[in-house]
Amino acid sequence: MRMLRLSCGAALSNEKELRKYEEKILSASEALLAAACEGKEGCGWINLPEQNYEAVLEVADVLIDFDSVVQIGIGGSALGNKMLFECLTHPFYNELSREERKGPRFYLLDNVDPELFLSVIEMIELSRTGFIVVSKSGTTAETMANFLVFWDKLKEERGSDVAKQLIVITDPKEGILRKFVQEIGCVSLDVPQNVGGRFSVLSPVGLLSAAIQRIPIAELLRGAKDMKEKLFSRRSLKDNPAWVLSALSVEHYLKGRNMFVFMPYLSRMSSFTEWFSQLWAESLGKNGKGMTPIRAVGAVDQHSQVQLYTSGPDDKLFLILSEEKSKRNVFFPESVEENSLNALSYLWGKDMKTMLNYEAQSTIAALIKSKKPVMWMEIPKLDAYYLGCLIYFFEYVTAVTGKLLGINPFDQPGVEQGKMYTRAFMGKEGNEEKRLEAESYLRQTRLLTINL
């Protein structure tokens, strides 16, 4: 059974230029698998497809009868949840009836924006809402700020019997939230210690909210497991599309194309591009290296970005994704009575899915005509199984690409710097010097200020 097809002739000028990467990728792939077996930091995602997820299903049953569920997290503790939710549930899930949804309404608090926070408050009844708070360390400032306000409101309205409404997903042994779980006795799940946030969507971090939404997580993990077996067993560029995608990404980066445009022709995959952008940028943007991910969705962004892509600078590598068959389709009328609409007769009797896929092929053709490097990925359909395949595929490609670039794809020192300054500005004790340092940098931008 084919999981995906990658066509890349239009991004490859010479097959020999990729051969130099084959041994390096093989070595990187073997090193990743060995690191996972040894439990090394950052490599736990590799074995997530084989995990026992019964605890996730048991905790989902605790939340399933609530009217609403709010997940509080940011970055890898939110983007994966949003991606699963939007790829695999109804686009207007919260507007469906309870019988149609088969689960609670779902809201995601992933920013310290007071307008977002208050808007969620206005949509829920606190006494009928379950809460999931996700932070591995318990020190993520944005997550903990949202959590503190909700926790205070819950206690104010509900008194002491509030632990039943809260699920905590955090480090199994250490951290603020682990101590909090022990103090109040709420239900908790573990973030595996050797899994980083952006690689955590197939852990309880992403699976719990998916289970509440009745997404078949067994199928999600089965897809990831099948993809894992193929990626680690296929040991040449000829039969491993992940190796080719990784090699081409590095080759074009070295040629000055330091932007990677990912453009699925599926509205439901808009959040997938957001998840991928964090995965790609945070893993590979280090030591002066990296490829900036650019999010686009077809056919929408044909009318906003493709002008730049075809006629702008040659500094991008493109990946277009299309779905071969969809679960549902819409057919255009065979004809219409109004003579003024005869110019649209080329659409009569056709269908929307065919048109969307032709839109993808047309963009590919336009990019090739403009002499821009483009790859085309096709998946049979977007369901839980194939989404699991895609998630694992892109995690593997990202990790291997990091190894090719000679960087650690599992840390994020640039993010940590910003977190440190935020804590200093908010008055965390012992961070006074960091605040002064940040303020000195900010004064540089104030050297030129224009008011209007």
The catalytic residues are: 282, 303, 419
Beta bridge partners of 184: none
Contacts of 188 (CB under 8 A, 6+ apart): 167, 168, 169, 170, 177, 178, 181
φ, ψ for residue 94, nearest 5 deg = -65, -20
Letter string b/e over residues 174-195, b meaning 16 or more CB atoms within 10 A of that residue's CB: ebebbebbeeeebbbbbbbebb
357-377 burial by CB neighbour count: b if 16+ within 10 A, else e?
bebbeebbebbbeeebbbbbb
Whether omega before 299 lies within 30 degrees of 0, making that bond cis, reads yes
CB atoms within 10 A of CB 273: 19
Cβ atoms within 10 Å of 430's Cβ, excluding its own: 8
Pairing of strands 5-7, 374-379: antiparallel
User: What is the DSSP secondary-structure string of 365-419?
Assistant: HHHHHTT--EEEEEES--SHHHHHHHHHHHHHHHHHHHHHHTS-TT--HHHHHHH
